[in-house]
Amino acid sequence: MHSPLSQTGPSQLLASPRSAWFAAFAWALGSLNPSRPNMTALPRSAGRQADHPVDPLFIERWSRRAYTGEPVPDAVLFTVLEAARWAPSGGNSQPWRFLYSHRGSASWGAFFDLLLPGNQRWAAYASALILLASETTRLRDGQRVKATSHSFDAGAAWAQLALQAEKLGWSARAIGGFEKEKARLALGVPDDLSLEVVIALGKPAGAAMLPADLLEKEAPTSRLPLSALAFEGRFPQG
Ligand SMILES: Cc1cc2nc3c(=O)[nH]c(=O)nc-3n(C[C@H](O)[C@H](O)[C@H](O)COP(=O)(O)O)c2cc1C
């Protein structure tokens, strides 16, 4: 699991009255810090093995179902939403919208009721449920026009949220299995918002808390090899 975000960058060091050599020395020391990701290695985590060097965070993140149910502090909730806010989007339209509910709060029942039964089985111990919606129109030259990348952009926001959660020692799992029309009515979702996913956010717990069939599945999944996904110049034919 990753340590929280605090890192001293060179600009902060240079802002002090210390001389430039000290800043360079301190930064070099920081770059040798074993807690920093080693970008020359091929990261491996719980059955996942990268084909090429990437930040270990990408390999270590996975969507858990087993959570402690403990309250999520604002520092975590707003930091994961903040990470999502900084996602890229078409024309910087930022179509993502978030509606959240804390476990045990007055709104929790309305959120939880939206989940399909198979998802309710594990999401009961999430600390928060976050509805991710996206604006289907955007402003261009003062006019509302159809947005063409709102779902794609919302996906980028979800990915950033999930990575940030992992980095804070929390976990997020996207849930497409929920009742969208019911959500629209129950949560007052405006007509021009498209419902994307509900996100379960929780503190990882031991998988033994899950029912046997889910316990069996509670492990990081693998990925197709990059060689089956990325090609140069032209797609292979046939
Ligand atoms: C759009 C979307 C919808 C999903 N819907 C569900 C769902 O309804 N229930 C569930 O248990 N997991 C759901 N997942 C989680 C995926 O199954 C999971 O992300 C995938 O297996 C990859 O595993 P990983 O996230 O642990 O790497 C969803 C994920 C995405 C991105």
Q: Does the residue 168 lie in any domain?
A: yes
Q: Is 177 in the pocket of ligand 1 (CB under 6 A)?
A: yes
Residue 42 domain-assigned?
yes
Whether residue 174 is contained in a domain is answered as yes
Contact criterion met (CB below 8 Å) for 96 and 154: yes
In a domain, 114, yes or no: yes
Which of 195, 171, 217, 222 shows the shortest CA–CA distance to 61? 171
- Note whether 76 and 147 are same-domain residues: yes
Task: With respect to residue 72, please indicate whether it lies within any of the assigned structural domains.
Answer: yes
Segment 156-185 mean pLDDT: 98
Q: Are residues 44 and 101 in the same domain?
A: no
Q: Are residues 30 and 139 in the same domain?
A: no
Domain that holds residue 41: 20-59
**Is 161 a pocket residue for ligand 1 (Cβ < 6 Å)?**
no
Domain count, the chain: 2
Is residue 175 in contact with ligand 1, taking CB distance under 6 Å? yes
- 176 C-alpha to ligand 1 centroid (Å): 7
Q: Confirm whether 102 is domain-assigned.
A: yes
Contact at 8 Å (CB) between 112 and 122? no
Q: Are residues 46 and 121 in the same domain?
A: no
CATH number of the domain residue 176 falls in: 3.40.109.10
Q: Region 48-74: what's the mean pLDDT? A: 96
Where is average pLDDT lowest: 44-48, 162-166, 203-207?
44-48
Residue 27 and residue 137 share a domain: no
Using CA atoms, how far residue 156 sits from 134, 139, 234, in Å, is 12, 20, 26
Q: What is the mean pLDDT of residues 88-99?
A: 97
pLDDT value of residue 58 = 96
Q: What is the pTM of this model?
A: 0.85
Q: Which of 131-135, 177-181, 220-224 has the lowest mean pLDDT?
A: 220-224
